[in-house]
Structure 1
Amino acid sequence: MSSNKEVIRSFIHAWSRLDANELADFFSDDGTYHNMPSKPVVGKRNIKLFIEKFIANWNSTSWDILTIVEDGDTVICERLDITRTSTGDVHLPCCGVFEMQDGKIHIWRDYFDLNTYMKGITP
């Protein structure tokens, strides 16, 4: 059985494949994905649909783990997300807080500066 930290490492690396089905499978059925500047998305199906829309204009992405720590069912991961989109490129410092449940992401809160993201994707 993988540690929660290893599950999150796998999840972070899975983003490079830009597969919404694969990414949603990391969540529990009642999971929550919350980009802190926005409203939370609840439920695996809704998370999949959100990710599909979110990455629709992404050409590639690579998320570099800077720091990752695990304390019980909580994993905190500081990252640099480098994303190439059809409208521009983004180098986005982020910090994700993951609450795990039975090896799945139950709640993911991602903290980043929305202006940095928007400046990168705005032509």
Structure 2
Amino acid sequence: MTNKEVVQAFIDAWNRVDWDAVSALMTEDVAYQNMPWAPVAGRDAVMANLAGFDVQASDWITHNIVADGDLVMTERTDRVQMRGIWKSLRAMGVFRLRDGRISEWRDYFDPAELTADIAPPERGVL
């Protein structure tokens, strides 16, 4: 798989809410950060952090994805059902890969959108 395909597989795993596949696509020492919150280091700690969101269903819409070497960037709308409530969040994701796995993952977004809950776009429309 190319690095771009790995990130696409990661997004597909999120959309299936397949935490084993999400975990398998990250390195053991992965660094994850939702900007501007504190970073989380290590796959086990990242998975524990993600479990805290209590995601029951997911529909990440990828608007754009660009790859250059070990760097892959995504422009997305992340729709997730957490604690029974659907939320939508526009996000810019930055992924760095090593040996076919995600070693760094940073998402940039406006935290106010978590409380405002923007309407999701139609697929293929930004």
Q: TM-score with structure 1 length normalisation?
A: 0.87
Give the letter aligned to residue 75 of structure 1: V
- Pair 1:39-2:38 in alignment: yes
| 3-state SS of paired residue (1:22) | helix
Secondary structure at the residue paired with 1:13?
helix
The question of whether the paired residues in 2 share the 8 Å contact of 1:20 and 1:52 is answered with no
Aligned to 1:99: 96
* Alignment partner of 1:3 is 2:8: no
Aligned CA RMSD, in angstroms, stands at: 1.4
Aligned to 2:123: none
User: How many residue pairs were aligned?
Assistant: 117
Alpha-carbon distance, 1:84 to partner = 2.4
8 Å contact kept, 2:13–2:19: no
Taking a change above 3 Å as real, the CA distance of residues 48 and 70 of structure 1, as seen in their structure-2 partners, is: same
Q: 1:32 touches 1:108 (CA, 8 Å); kept in 2?
A: yes
Q: What TM-score do the two structures reach when normalised by structure 2? A: 0.85
Mapped pair 1:52 → 2:51: yes
1:65-84 matched pairs, under 5 angstroms: 65-84=62-81
Q: Distance in 2 between matches of 1:50 and 1:85?
A: 14
SS at match of 2:36: coil
In 2, the alpha carbon distance for the partners of 1:3 and 1:22 equals: 17
Identity percentage of aligned residues: 36
**Runs of 4+ deviating beyond 6 Å:** none
Match of 1:86 among 72, 83, 88: 83
Rounded to whole Å, the distance in 2 between the matches of 1:24 and 1:70 is: 21
